[in-house]
Structure 1
């Protein structure tokens, strides 16, 4: 084996330079060639997009991509089908090694129960905000005869009346009943016979009653355009309530009175 003489300073510096060169070659080779090759070897798999897939489809795609998975969380979202993927990590299109584990969040089959917040006495907008915060949804808003204008007076869900604090499934549609400002009191049925149709219409509107069926017929006992008969199918006896329908018979043809 050839030996490098070290009898002079020049020989010593030459020896040191060779050792330093070997060290640098090993250093850069380890950190810039071997480590990148060993740590990134096989990092050619692109993570598929699993969001929205059913559990079965997700498993098939994971297996086909040579990856593994673990369900890290199970939550409930009302507008998503049960047992579908809600989120994943790593994210879609990330490059990972073969066999990398993908962490999945699945939509639960059974919604958790939520306690109904206090809604009675609130406005519709405030009630809707409380429902959203609680994980519930606003259903149909019904107006009923009540002096409390635009104020929630009753809450129904799942086909029945419910009170604050009752437990119902998350995502349930909740119907609100609000007052229309009209007291739910009985009034005496007014007598419209002999009055002009235009006048009757004004009286009905003022009493918060509605015009129901209007029948035009000949009747020689009254002038044209005059009401000669009235009925109310929704009334009790001679009493009426706001919102009742009053059917009217009017003298003359319909074309004459339009």
Structure 2
């Protein structure tokens, strides 16, 4: 029996077959060990809640939890400190593998800007809708003397007339000057007339494009 096994092993075809089997087993074992190390099975950490903190402050929390981070976006909110973290993906409290990248959105240092459009001779509804489409949310309507009723005349910011193409913060309080169609204004002419409230303008914006 022993002689038979020796002869069998010495057979080049059998030897190569056995060698291939051994190498395949070794390769599979090594691959499984590498995958286990790479994916860190059964090892998870919790994403810390660092909302409201600056990046410099949150960095220590990420390091202590063996996590990495990447700032991918910024938004602007007057109610949040500039530079503070406002959103994380995955969300705080999520269980992730060590070394995972947490994607962060921070509050911008200043409000986003947009350009002032040309509104002269547009109807005030069109002008208002155009400003809202640019992202301006604080728009007040003010009637001024003029020959043609309900035509946009100008856009002002704190009493200064803005020119087409000027860059203005989206949070700015704008005043849209509108012609009253009269040479003089009644005492209650400031603001949108009661027959056309702001809510109506907002609901009709899409009809002007």
TM-score range, shorter-chain basis?
Answer: 0.5 to 0.7
Structure of larger gyration radius: 1
Q: Which residue of 1 aligns with 2:7?
A: 6
Deviations 1:105-162 (A, max 9, x none): 4222233554322122223443244324544334222234434233212322234333
Q: Which structure carries more helix by proportion?
A: 2
Deviations 1:198-218 (A, max 9, x none): xxxxxxxxxxxxxxxxxxxxx
Confirm whether residue 41 of structure 1 aligns to residue 40 of structure 2. Answer: yes
Contact in 2 for aligned 1:83/1:109 (Cα 8 Å): yes
Separation (CA, whole Å) in 1 of partners of 2:187 and 2:129: 33
Contact in 2 for aligned 1:120/1:152 (Cα 8 Å): yes
Decide whether aligned partners of structure 1 residues 156 and 54 sit closer, same or farther in structure 2, where only a CA change above 3 A counts: farther
Q: By how many angstroms is 1:103 displaced? A: 4.5
CA RMSD in angstroms comes to 3.8
Confirm whether residue 151 of structure 1 aligns to residue 94 of structure 2. Answer: no
Q: Which residue of 2 aligns with 1:254?
A: none
Structure scoring higher RCO (CA < 8 A, sep ≥ 6) equals 2
Deviations 1:9-32 (A, max 9, x none): 9x666545533432332232123x
Q: Which residue of 1 aligns with 2:176?
A: 176
Q: Which structure carries more strand by proportion?
A: 1
Aligned length: 181
Compute the TM-score of the two structures, normalised by the length of structure 2: 0.63
Structure 1 stretches lacking a partner, 5+ long: 186-241, 246-258
Task: Provide the secondary structure at the position in 2 that maps to 1:34.
Answer: helix
Contact in 1 for aligned 2:75/2:105 (Cα 8 Å): no
Q: Which residue of 2 aligns with 1:165?
A: 165
Runs of 4+ in structure 1 over 6 Å off: none
Decide whether aligned partners of structure 1 residues 18 and 49 sit closer, same or farther in structure 2, where only a CA change above 3 A counts: same
Structure 2 stretches lacking a partner, 5+ long: 189-209
Contact in 2 for aligned 1:69/1:103 (Cα 8 Å): yes
Q: Which residue of 2 aligns with 1:192?
A: none
